[in-house]
Amino acid sequence: MSDRSSNGRSGRRLSCVGALLGVFALDLAVASCASTDDEPGPDGVDGASQIPTVDAALDAGGDACDPDAEDCTTPRPPPCDEVEWCLEKTSHPAGIGLASVWGSGPNDVWAVGAHGTVTHWDGKQWATGKVATDWSLRAVWGSGPNDVWAMSAQDQIFRTTGFANGAATWRTVTPVTDEPVEPPAFLGAIWGTSSSDVWIGGKILYIQRDDGQFGEVAWRSVATDGGGTAWAPSLQDYTFDMVQGIWGSGPDDVWMVGSKSNNVPFGVHSNGAAAPGAVPAWKELDTQSLAGLNAVWGSGPNDVWAVGDNGTIRHAGADAAVWTIIESPTAANLRGIWGSGPNDVWVVGEHGTLLHYDGKAWRTVVGGFVPGTAPHLYGVWGSGPNDVWAVGSGIVMHYSGPKPGAEGPNR
């Protein structure tokens, strides 16, 4: 096996990659050279988190006070039956931000975040654990309940066979490159078609290969002779700086969004992924945007959405030459997107932003936050139209379907 069991990280230098990971540009952002518990951001306390207030308010129940009262110390969040999205009690460590969420079904949901935090939903409760790293985990994805991946940087990629007996055992996967990298190259995008076909992306790495040196921002897993995992380049381009999101309907229909070295966003499509180990051919579409693109998702090859900063929403299909500009109901930075189908798509973003698309238009949805807070949301995933999860600044939220009288997508 070429997958590794240790979590050591070399301090030698290959190239200096960027200082900030844009997908967590506010309370989850940190200088790329920081990695200790004393630092703020993803490797320290999430400064915008309201988790102590959330759990205290949910624990207090009827004893929580009216937020308008002068002596209120534990304000009451709105009742769950009055809002579409409800706060979840998780016993998640106070102040630790969550960056990404994914699940294999309604009783197997994973969220990852700062300090190597992993929290798992088994259909009844959330249980929090940790990967053997103090680096922030920026993305989680799996091919099924017994094959789950989480990652942070080029040498911080982890894999587990699932949650069992109250815990998950993680092993370290072979890094993208054996060459030392300092500061590390952050990875924030992951998607795949199977346990043996995983695509990852992040900050550009300059890698020396047999046929020259290349600037690479995304890679695809390949099996080694020993049965482990190695990484082949899937997107080589010196003009690209970072991949923020990856999605595909299959190995012959893959989309990536991110930013170029001049901070201009890009969105590319491959309609014929190359054989294992070969670099796919990509078509770049004009984003018609100067704002960054942070996430991509689609219901099929001809229904693909990308979202980004300043409320940017774009739509495209496999044969498109440009991304279509879509009217947005917000100017907030949008961070995550997921849908159950073409007429049911959710987007989350900063300042408590929740958006829903019903097949006709996008609209803002009110979340049941603790009064006086507007935590940033970074990831969204669901098992179906009435079971959707969102995570962010120390919080987990759940949508269980439309409610009579609640403020939501059907209001």
For 278, what's the count of Cα atoms within 13 Å in the CB-facing half-sphere?
Answer: 8
Phi, psi of 57, deg, nearest 5: -70, -40
Whether the CB-CB separation of 306 and 293 falls below 8 Å is answered with: yes
**Cβ contacts of 286 within 8 Å, gap of 6 or more:** 321, 322, 323
Which of 66-75, 239-248, 313-322, 351-360 shows the lowest per-residue confidence on average (mean pLDDT)?
66-75
pLDDT of residue 55: 65
Radius of gyration of the chain (CA): 20
Distance of CA 397 to the CA centre of its chain: 15
- Which residues lie below 8 Å from residue 396, measured CB to CB, with a gap of 6+? 87, 88, 90, 92, 98, 101, 111, 119, 126, 389, 390
Mean pLDDT score, 165-170: 90
The pLDDT, as a whole number, for residue 183 is: 80
Torsion of CA 261, 263, 267, 268, to 10 degrees: -10
Question: Which pLDDT score is estimated for 409?
Answer: 52
Q: Quote the pLDDT of residue 380.
A: 98
Q: What phi, psi does 367 have (nearest 5°)?
A: -95, 155
For 358, residues 6+ apart whose C-beta sits below 8 A from its C-beta are 343, 344, 409, 410
Model confidence at 35, pLDDT cuts 50, 70, 90, reads very low
State both tokens at 410: 């059907």
What's the pLDDT score for residue 234? 94
Mean pLDDT to the nearest integer, 271-282: 83
- Over the stretch 106-115, which tens digit does the pLDDT of each residue have? 999 999 999 9
Distance CA 5, CA 192 (A): 23
The per-residue pLDDT for 12 is 32
Helix (H, G, I), strand (E, B) or coil at 23: helix
- Asked if the model's pLDDT at residue 25 lies above 50, the reply is no
Q: Confirm if 266 and 240 have CB atoms less than 8 A apart.
A: yes
Grade residue 376 by pLDDT with cuts at 50, 70 and 90.
Answer: very high
Averaged over 53-70, what is the pLDDT? Answer: 65
User: Which of 15-24, 68-77, 208-217, 322-331 holds the top average pLDDT?
Assistant: 322-331
Which regions of 114-166 does DSSP assign to beta strands (E)? Answer: 117-121, 126-130, 139-144, 147-153, 156-164
Q: Which residue has the higher pLDDT, 111 or 24?
A: 111
Average pLDDT over residues 50-63: 60
214-222 CB contacts, 8 Å cutoff, 24+ apart: 214/238, 215/240, 217/241, 217/242, 217/243, 217/258, 218/189, 218/243, 218/246, 218/256, 219/176, 220/273, 220/276, 221/192, 221/196, 221/197, 222/276, 222/277
The DSSP secondary-structure symbol of 65 reads B
* Per-residue model confidence (pLDDT) at position 59: 66
Whole-number percent of the chain with pLDDT over 90: 62
Query: Quick one: pLDDT band at residue 63, thresholds 50, 70, 90?
Result: low
Show the CA angle centred on residue 393, arms to residues 345 and 367, nearest 5°. 45
Whether pLDDT at 52 is above 80: no
Domain edges within the chain = 22-399
Q: What is the mean pLDDT of residues 221-241?
A: 90
In this prediction, residue 72 carries a pLDDT of: 76
Q: Give the mean model confidence (pLDDT) for residues 76-80.
A: 82
CA distance 186 to 41: 14
Nearest CA to 362 out of 349, 374, 377 is that of 349
Average pLDDT over residues 252-260: 97
Mean pLDDT of the chain: 84
CATH number, span 22-399:
2.130.10.10
pLDDT at residue 2, as a whole number: 40
Average pLDDT over residues 6-28: 33
Say whether pLDDT at 129 is over 80.
yes
